């Protein structure tokens, strides 16, 4: 008895998300088809010109915009940024440094600090439990 595995495919939206690009900015042939695992791996290993340009210049999807600005996706929304932005627009926002961006960056810094504190606390607790068992 042999089992036949079909070729793994993903929707263009999934592939774009994994590649970190804005789907609507990709070429039509990418958006309208399906992406096989082999095609996806090839895109990652040797990105075509359109993919390199999208990654460099944008427009970038919100998770990438948020990361480049150092804020959360929710922070983007609170700041009124709901659309994809180009690298140029992101750089302009960094230069302008509006109040909402400064506030959201400070919030993100606090969130990261708290995450580190909790991680250290869990590590200490695990270490103490390991000592108690020995």
Q: If residue 35 lies in a helix (H) or strand (E), which one and from where to where?
A: strand 35-36
The rounded distance, in Å, linking the Cα atoms of 102 and 98 is: 7
In 3D, which of 72, 81, 79 has the Cα closest to residue 101? Answer: 79
Structure tokens at 3: 């089992």
Residues 39-62 pLDDT 10s? 999 999 999 999 999 999 999 999
Residues 71-88 pLDDT 10s? 999 999 999 999 999 999
Query: Which sign does the torsion angle of CA 26, 27, 32, 33 carry?
Result: negative
State the DSSP string of 8-20.
Answer: PEE-HHHHHHHHT
What pTM was estimated for this model as a whole?
0.75
Q: Quote the mean pLDDT of the chain.
A: 90
């Amino acid at each position: 008895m042999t089992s036949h595995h079909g070729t793994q495919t993903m929707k263009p939206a999934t592939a774009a998300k994994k590649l970190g690009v804005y789907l609507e900015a990709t070429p039509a042939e990418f958006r309208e088809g399906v992406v096989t695992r082999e095609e996806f791996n090839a895109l990652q290993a040797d990105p075509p010109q359109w993919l390199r340009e999208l990654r460099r210049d944008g427009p970038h999807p919100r998770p990438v915009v948020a990361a480049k600005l150092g804020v959360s996706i929710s922070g983007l929304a609170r700041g009124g940024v709901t659309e994809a932005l180009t690298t140029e627009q992101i750089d302009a926002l960094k230069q302008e440094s509006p109040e909402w961006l400064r506030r959201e960056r400070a919030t993100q810094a606090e969130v990261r600090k708290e995450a580190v504190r909790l991680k250290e606390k869990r590590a200490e607790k695990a270490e103490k439990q390991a000592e108690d068992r020995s």
